[in-house]
Amino acid sequence: MSRELMKGNEAVAEAAVRAGVVSYFGYPITPQTELLEYMSRRMPELGRAFVQAESELGAINMVYGAACTGHRTMTSSSSPGVSLMLEGVSYIAGTELPMVLVNVMRGGPGLGNIAPAQSDYNQMVHGGGHGDYRCIVLAPCSVQESIDLTVLAFDLADKYRSIVVLLTDGSIGQMMEACELPPMQPLKTKFADWAVQGAEGRERRFLTSINLDPAAQEEMNYRLLKRWVEVEANEVRYQEYFMEDAEYVVTGFGSSARIALSAVRAARAEGIKVGLIRPITLSPFPKQVYANLSDKVKGMLVVEMNAGQMLEDVMAANRYRIPTEFFARLGGVVPFPDEVLEEIHRMVETPIPTDSHPRDRWFARVMAKG
Amino acid sequence: MVLDNCELETTVFERPDTLTGANTHYCPGCTHGIANRLIAEVIDEMGMREKTIGVASVGCSVFIYNYLNMDFVQAPHGRAPAMATGVKRVLPDRMVFTYQGDGDLASIGMTEIVHAAARGENITVFFLNNTNYGMTGGQMAPTTMPGQKTTSSQNGRDVETQGYPIRVSEMFSKLDGASYIVRRSLHDPKNIRMAKKAIRMAFETQVRGLGFSMVELLSICPTNWGMTPKTSIQWLEERMIPYYPLGDYKVHPALAEIKL
């Protein structure tokens, strides 16, 4: 396979095509639009379905319909657009359908801006839509990983009849990197016994999220949860860097992990025994890796481009055992590796308080700077 | 004896294969049942039961999937045309239709329906207009008539503060993507027969790949109107039809050759 120079959003689009996506429905929004544009050329070229919908509401419900047929389908958007889609996301979850949603996050809340951010973590990982459901959430930190996780996303969606979110940001979506694309997969020809394609020579099927009998709805919720237990047992993914002898741990996901890694390398060059943990699946969250951190770990620094949304999950995962600090830039501001390195120095040089919340201490420092 | 001349075993009336035979949740006198049956009869006559996918909406239309014996999906409120678009684009050789009331189609789902029509989406829409939100107990809908009393316009719809009804068929007839837009009524046998022909024409529009088709069906809602079925039918004739005239609002020239 030859290596190509590709933009993140376009690489995700081509990876989805090669993973056998049969229909794409989307709506323009920066910094995701290249994905839609790429699909508008590529899908018709292959005789596959492309519709630029009237809104994100339209797009997600087109996906909902397409997902009912059992064929692979997807949409993509960015933060405000994803908020609009959450109605459909809840219905799709409630109907137990596979689909892939790409969220190229930008600064918020509200209209915010078009710069990279990670402030949709809670929305994607802890719900967003109404009702009790979970999405599998994959967080790449490079163009190559965006490609690999897109292919994985379709497989996991089919395997677990689940929504899989590829959670990138304006930086990963817009950057160009050398990458390798997967081979073109043949389209699905075998379909699950729930797929609605017309009741030809069989009993009719119908797909719905309505369940007027609370006891039956409870059964349905149990079924979702049972599937989630399986996902948690089998699909946790993360990457560790320099962790063998680490006395300090930095952790973050996606872009912030990538930036933090530069800082960790710089700290290692100075002789600081620091490692990095990067969750690849934000949901299921790699709780075990944090729970299992040895007592030799003296401190942990969580770096995010939001106000500590993953921070809460990290602290709960290690049962608030390891003294933790927090560093973030918000609103679409991307941290510099030097800023993270400075935080590593602080963590190593000053005792980490355990009687206050890391977010409060970080925010107090931000406010003190003025 | 007169009976000696009768063929007692001749079937003169039976349930279409496309109807499941389930008891409906519709109120006594409601015309939803007629609309369901007409759709079932037409699909039977076309031999398309196994190749049709229905998209149910939200409102009294929500349980249609229990009554029609075919593959069905269930859309969120107002989104049936978008969902139908998704199904149809992936399975273009299937006949796909939505079944929506006036709250679903003309209020919360107006964006989805207008754009499905404008795209010339090759789907068929059955639009039941009974001038109120039936399922939630008779609130004001976009189609509620000026002066009409509903549970959320208790002194009668005041157009000064609550605006005017939307004439959906007239509006959609202006869209280039729409190929078959007609309004029929379900208030008497003659009109019911005309409605059935329109349902057939709408499906024929789709089968021929001509684009978006919609049949608006004026319907009664005795329970929420607070009238007997008989009075409701009179009210439909005397009040609704003058405001929502029956007729063909747009018919693609290629449909002229079809004789039913």
What's residue A2's pLDDT? 82
The number of folded domains in chain B is 1
A198, B75: Cβ pair inside 8 Å?
A: no
Does residue B105 belong to any structural domain of this protein? Answer: yes
Does residue B11 belong to any structural domain of this protein? Answer: no
**Chain A residues within an 8 Å CB radius of B111:** 54-55, 57-58
Confidence band for A179, pLDDT divided at 50, 70 and 90: very high
Nearest to B212 by CA among B108, B86, B113: B113
How many angstroms away from the CA of A120 is the closest CA of chain B?
24
User: A201 to chain B: nearest residue by CA?
Assistant: B50
Domains of chain A: 4-234 (3.40.50.970), 239-369 (3.40.50.920)
What's residue A112's pLDDT? 96
Q: How many residues does chain A have?
A: 370
Residue A293 in contact with residue A269, Cβ under 8 Å?
no
% of chain A surpassing 90 pLDDT: 98
Report which DSSP code applies to A21: -
Minimal Cβ distance to A199: which of B50, B55, B91:
B50
Q: Is the dihedral of CA B9, B10, B11, B13 positive or negative?
A: negative
Q: Which residues contact A295 (CB under 8 A, 6 or more apart)?
A: A321
B82, A61: Cβ pair inside 8 Å?
A: yes
Res A365 pLDDT > 90? yes
What's residue A58's pLDDT? 98
- Per-residue model confidence as pLDDT tens digits over A244-297: 999 999 999 999 999 999 999 999 999 999 999 999 999 999 999 999 999 999
What's residue B4's pLDDT? 62
pLDDT (tens place) for every residue of chain B, 260 residues total: 455 666 667 888 899 999 999 999 999 999 999 999 999 999 999 999 999 999 999 999 999 999 999 999 999 999 999 999 999 999 999 999 999 999 999 999 999 999 999 999 999 999 999 999 999 999 999 999 999 999 999 999 999 999 999 999 999 999 999 999 999 999 999 999 999 999 999 999 999 999 999 999 999 999 999 999 999 999 999 999 999 999 999 999 999 888 87
What domain range is B22 assigned to? Answer: 18-255
Does residue B4 belong to any structural domain of this protein? Answer: no
Confidence band for A302, pLDDT divided at 50, 70 and 90: very high
ipTM, two decimals, is 0.95
Among B63, B90, B207, B212, the residue to mutate for chain A (most A Cβ within 10 A)? B90
**Chain B residues within an 8 Å CB radius of A62:** 82-83, 85-86, 89
Nearest to B202 by CA among B99, B86, B82: B99
Higher pLDDT, B259 or A222: A222
A23, B86: Cβ pair inside 8 Å?
A: yes
User: B49 to chain A: nearest residue by CA?
Assistant: A199
Among B89, B98, B105, B108, the residue to mutate for chain A (most A Cβ within 10 A)? B89
Residue B81 is part of a domain; what is its CATH number?
Answer: 3.40.50.970
Does residue B95 belong to any structural domain of this protein? Answer: yes
Does residue B10 belong to any structural domain of this protein? Answer: no
In this prediction, residues A67-75 reach a mean pLDDT of 98
Q: What is the 3-state secondary structure (H, E, C) of chain B?
A: CHHHHCCCCCCCCCCCCCECCCCCCCCCCCCHHHHHHHHHHHHHHHCCHHHEEEEECCCHHHHHHHHECCEEEECCCCCHHHHHHHHHHHCCCCEEEEEEEHHHHHHHCHHHHHHHHHCCCCCEEEEEECCEECCCCCEECCCCCCCCCECCECCCCCHHHHCCCCCHHHHHCCCCCEEEEEEEECCCHHHHHHHHHHHHHHHHHHHCCCCEEEEEEECCCHHHHCCCHHHHHHHHHHHHHHHCCCEEEEECHHHCCCCC
A49, B51: Cβ pair inside 8 Å?
A: no
What residues of B are in the A interface, CB distance below 8 Å?
49-53, 55-56, 62, 65, 69-76, 79, 82-91, 94, 111-112, 114-115, 119
Does residue B131 belong to any structural domain of this protein? Answer: yes
A208, B82: Cβ pair inside 8 Å?
A: no
Average pLDDT, chain A: 97
- Per-residue model confidence as pLDDT tens digits over A303-339: 999 999 999 999 999 999 999 999 999 999 999 999 9
What's residue B11's pLDDT? 84
Does residue B13 belong to any structural domain of this protein? Answer: no
Full-model pTM: 0.96
A58, B112: Cβ pair inside 8 Å?
A: yes
Residue B52 vs residues A45, A196, B62, B179: alpha-carbon distances, Å: 28, 10, 18, 20
Does residue B6 belong to any structural domain of this protein? Answer: no
Paired residues of A326 in beta bridges = A302
